[in-house]
Structure 1
Amino acid sequence: MLSAMQAGGQVRSRNYSFLSSDAGQQATQVDWAATFNDTSLPLVADLGCGAGRYVLLMGSNDAARSSNYLGLDVHKALLDRANGWAAARGLSGHVAYVQANVVVSAAAILGSYPGRHVRLVSIQYPDPQQRRRRHVVGRELVAALAEVLPSGAQVYLNSDFEDTATYMRNCFERFGAQHFDIDTTVHVPGSTFPCSEVLQPVRPDVVTPQAGRRPRASGAGDAAPGTAAWRSASGDDGPSGPGSGSESGGEGGGGGGSGGEAVDEEEVDLLFWRQGRWREAGWLLRNPVGAPTEREVYVELATRQQVYRVMLVRR
């Protein structure tokens, strides 16, 4: 019989002590043979999986057992409950959850998967109030994924805050455009809606009601996009493309909770409003992976608000 926790009882999850512990600052190792029944299958990984329902749904929908599904998060209580859910549904060996600081451990975990056969990595609905020091997406994570993902692997990003989705997309474009690009097999005509015009720098610490945008910042960020002053402040030499990205810019971009990166406030601001080439691809109208998160269902069906989705691909 499932315990109350496994059956869906409330679990206290906002505890970041793992991030500051020795274990949270070391790369997590996974015993793949003990985790999955067939390690020759491609891997689907959700970074920052929270309660884990999305991973469970992905695994449940895969009746042919064509992939393995892995959820990574820092909250052990949530992961224990999710592993209980998987066991109760007969999905153990097909769906699994592991405690890890994904910024520190992404390269070690995904890079150690047999054959590095990673098919899809998703980063969904990060906390919009934790962008600077705990945001999982930043220079460090982009570099880790560029190192270990095979050509053709997809990276799926989404949020119900447009500036948060923009920040994540811009991190990949700014720090990894030579390794990643918009997946044009998913972003096809008729499948997207345009990105909002953001002509002012935004601050990630104060939310305003208008579409998740922030008030105007002062200082070097006052330069208009596309001007020489803006390119100088942002370290940008023009529209992004192959050859631009991880070699440019400062030390900022978000630490994902690892504490391993310095946070450059100006750099973070620029990542919110930078007008790169990838914005021309727009946001996806519909979920491209066939399994929504619980938050996605709530946002689109209950509140009738928009979700901002983008699919990238490893070159």
Structure 2
Amino acid sequence: MKKIVFMGTPDYALSVLKALCEHFEIVGVFTQPDKPVGRKAVLTPPPVKEFALSKGFAVFQPQNLKNGAAEQIALLKPDFIVVAAYGQILGEDILSIAPCINLHASILPEFRGASPVQQMVLNGKKLGGITAMKMGVGLDDGDMLGFEVCDIEGKSSAELFSIFATMAGKLALKTLENYEKINPIAQFSALSSKCKKIKKEEGQISFDDEISIIWRKFLAFNPWPSIYFSNGTKLLKIKIHSQNVAREQIGKICAINQNSFCVGAKKGLVEIFSIQEAGKKALDAKEYLNGKRLGLGDNIFS
């Protein structure tokens, strides 16, 4: 049975590890250090660590990979190193130990980097998927070993992370089981694009934004950082309706329904079902309107 060192951290990575451990010997799991979570800053282990410990796997959580990690991995004598959303860059000292296979959440060479799922949604892509890649020293630029593709139109990042996690697990198995038969494909870097970590401020919107931009941000930034206005108010559940909207209607309540209300934006209406002011609990549309005593024609933030 082939020996695997696995490197990953969030739920996406956990799905890959679960798939692998049914077919290969996991000789070591590398994941990010425990981090404080929530208002009480409770020190919380990554999902991958919790599962690995429950299976009795050896777990390593180095702050960085420059101080002895390569030596630790070499002692484990893996046949493959499998990486899925680990969160640290692998150096040549690790890459030279065994073939390093990365399950990257985009169809490379598009969206190399830290936020491929959010970026494909922001860009309005209709198809997305996973690439199995043999890692090199560059950023997600290694030779491609296989793909899984699906329809992503209208799906949020939260939905896609779940879908892609299952796909990545299947692709990891297929890639490792057929590794010797695969003819790697070099990436055409001229077609590449890069993406950085998502910052909270990217979720800010305005009703002066085009309706399509509001919708894409809503899908892309679910669950984090969500979409919000300059006053901190978040929109938690919405629909959009494309239509001509007069300039004077932007930011104003244009319709009130049984479970929602519509606000004018550029080139359409935002139908709001659930909303949350900064520091307060989430409210459904009716509660919000009643609490603010708002009606047709009123500015939502007056």
TM-score range, shorter chain: 0.3 to 0.5
Structure having greater relative contact order (Cα 8 Å, sep ≥ 6): 1
Larger radius of gyration: 2
Q: Which has the higher helix share?
A: 1
Q: Which has the higher strand share?
A: 2
* TM-score normalised by the chain length of structure 2: 0.33
